[in-house]
């Protein structure tokens, strides 16, 4: 019943504008802040550098790939626009 009410309300509301900052940069910043917060807590409060290293190796490559893709997209856009 609640799902039907929700679907009724969602269908009636206007769609928000889709921007790159909302659809791309928002989740990236959320993931990066989770990475930094968990690393900081693990190192300072829990005092477990080995766990922080595992987190760095597990989450770090995805952040590095995303940041390099963001830089590459900006370079492509700078070249494509006269």
pLDDT digits (tens, 9 = 90+) for 52-82: 999 999 999 999 998 888 877 667 666 554 4
44 vs 18 pLDDT, higher one: 44
Does any domain span residue 33?
A: no
Q: Tell me the whole-structure pTM to 2 decimals.
A: 0.62
Q: pLDDT tens digit string along 32-59?
A: 999 999 999 999 999 999 999 999 999 9
Does any domain span residue 70?
A: yes
Per-residue confidence (pLDDT) for residue 6, from 0 to 100: 77
Does any domain span residue 5?
A: no
Q: How many CB atoms within 10 Å of residue 70?
A: 14
CA 31 – CA 28 distance, rounded (Å): 5
Does any domain span residue 18?
A: no
Domain count, the chain: 1
Does any domain span residue 62?
A: yes
CA distances from 73 to 12, 35, 58, 66, 81 (A): 35, 23, 24, 10, 12
């Amino acid at each position: 019943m609640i799902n039907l009410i929700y679907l009724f309300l969602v269908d009636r509301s206007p769609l928000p504008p889709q921007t790159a900052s909302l659809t791309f940069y928002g989740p990236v910043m959320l993931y990066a802040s989770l990475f930094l917060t968990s690393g900081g807590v693990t190192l300072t409060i829990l005092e477990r550098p080995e766990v922080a290293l595992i987190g760095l190796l597990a989450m770090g490559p995805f952040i590095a790939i995303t940041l390099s893709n963001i830089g590459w997209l900006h370079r492509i856009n700078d070249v494509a626009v006269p």
